[in-house]
Structure formats: C-alpha cells, structure tokens
Amino acid sequence: MSPAAGSRRLSKLLVALEKPTGGSIVYKGRDVATMTGRALKEYRREVQIIFQDPYSSLNPRMTVGDIVAEGWSVHSDIAPRKDRLKRTQDLLDRVGLNPDYVNRYPHQFSGGQRQRIGIARALALRPEIIVCDEPVSALDVSVQAQVVNLLEDLQDDFGLSYLFIAHDLSVVRHISDRVSVMYLGSIVEEGTDEQVYTTPSHPYTQALLSSVPLHEPHLRGQKDRILLQGDVPSPADPPSGCRFRTRCWKAQDICATEAPALVDRGQGHPAACHFAEARAVVPVDAE
C-alpha cells in the first residue's frame, strides 16, 4: 500500500465509509466502528470530509446545487426544503464561488473551483470536525495557498476542528496546531507544530524534515540531509518490534523485539523510539 493509499484508507475509516479490521476509532466515548442507526447518522453529520481528488469526488450528473444540498435530504431538520436554494447559494458565496452557479455541472469548473464545491458540501451539515484528506495535493501550486487560506478562514467563522492529512510538510505546519507523524500506519511522534518541526525526536521525523527544500538560500547549507537506506516494508507484514528499525541508523537488538511506546522520554513530547532524542533542525518554511 502506498502512502497516498494509506491516507485515503485512514480518512475513509474516520468518516465511517469503511470498517476497520482491528482496533477502534473513539469519538465522544463511543467506538465509531460499532455505531449503527441513529448514532451513525448523527456521527456522519458531525464529522464530514473533504476528499483529495476534486475530479472524482463530485457526481458529474448532479448540479452544483444538488451536490451541496444532498446531505439535507437525509438530515432534513438542518435546512427546510424552502430554504435550501438560498442556503446553497450562501455556501457557494462563502467559499468564493458565484451563487448563480447552482445549476452548473462539475465539468464546467476548474480543479480549485471543484474543491471549493467539496468544501461547501462538507459545511452544509454544520459539522464539528472536517477530515481533510490531502485537500490541496491535486491542485496547482498557485491555487493551493488560496484553498488553505480559505480553510483557515472557515475554521474561525464556523468554529471547526480539522483533521488534516497531508504529505506536504510545509502545508501541515501552516495550518496545524498539533501534528502526528505516521509510519506504516502507526503514530511515531506527536506534539505541537513547534515541538515536532523544530526539535523532532523520532529518527523518521528527523529524516522527513531533512528532506524538505528551503526557500532561503542562506539556510540550505545549515541542514544535514538524512538519507534512509532500504525500501519501505509492506504495511500488511511490518517488521517485528519497531516498524522503522529496518531503515533506522539507531536500531539495536531491543528494537527488533520490543515495540516502543509513544511516550515522552525527556524530549518534551511523545515519540515511539527507544532512543528518542530531540534534534534541532532548520525550521520548515511555514509560508
């Protein structure tokens, strides 16, 4: 499974579009995987998603207005039928699209505009949390910043929490308050954006940050590139003990026999490494 496929699987699990084969997803004290009926319906209202690909996530046979308003056919108490057209137009306007576009179809829009439609659809049910599955990775670089800035504005206006999944470390730092780093499906380090980006403690995080290009030429010589050896193991058959040990320069015998707990070993934030050690790096650009 590629990292991109893994992130898609994670996002679908979080919004209950797929069932986990093990473990649990706990929301407000309840396991999402066991929810049915009214509880699952309420969960899907409170936790919405913005998909990665704006080209495949919008039904080409539905108008923009129908796409945005579709959730109201299930959760009719949120928007009475007589108010739906006006509310749809208001949402389109809020995400930066012409309200008169309600009768147009997805093929008439650019990638960035389509993603704005997906954002409006996610907002329609007034969720508490929106899972953002790499929402800008499929967009042109010139459009990515516009969409990220829109997400930040909407977060303030609607009181939203985002679970933002991405491989672009600069985008993650720009939008996140807390960061979790995953390797082969397991969290290996977590903390505030400042902790993870300026003093990473897990070897995988350190290698990731060392690979990010810097905009400022005078800083490039201050960063030591960490080149990992070997291939990424299969998530279906991960190594014993620490999953990262087959590519880690710190690996010792204990790493093969004992999976490290995700705890703070004195570096100031949790890291799943027996030999975690905070290491200052040149910060990843946040702009």
pTM, full prediction: 0.88
Mean pLDDT confidence for 109-115: 95
pLDDT score of 176 more than 50: yes
CA torsion 16→20→22→25, rounded to 10°? -20
Tell me which residue of 236, 241, 202, 249 sits closest to 2, measured CA to CA: 236
Q: Are the C-beta atoms of 60 and 107 separated by less than 8 Å?
A: yes
- Distance of alpha carbon 196 from its chain centroid, rounded? 16
pLDDT tens track for 45-104:
999 999 999 999 999 999 999 999 999 999 988 988 999 999 999 999 999 999 999 999
Tell me which residue of 247, 252, 254, 210 sits closest to 228, measured CA to CA: 247
Which H/E stretch holds residue 189? strand 186-192
Looking at 27-31, 168-172, 233-237, 283-287, which range is the least confident one? Answer: 283-287
**Mean pLDDT across the chain:** 90
* Cα end-to-end distance, the chain, whole Å: 31
Using a 10 angstrom Cβ sphere, with 0-12 exposed, 13-18 middle and 19 or more buried, the burial of residue 145 is middle
188: left (phi over 0), alpha (psi -120 to 50) or beta: alpha
Which H/E stretch holds residue 114? helix 111-123
Q: Which domains does the chain have, with CATH numbers?
A: 3-167 (3.40.50.300), 181-257 (no CATH)
Instruction: For residue 49, list its beta bridge partners.
Output: 131
Tell me which residue of 103, 33, 24, 31 sits closest to 69, measured CA to CA: 103
Amino acid 287: pLDDT: 46
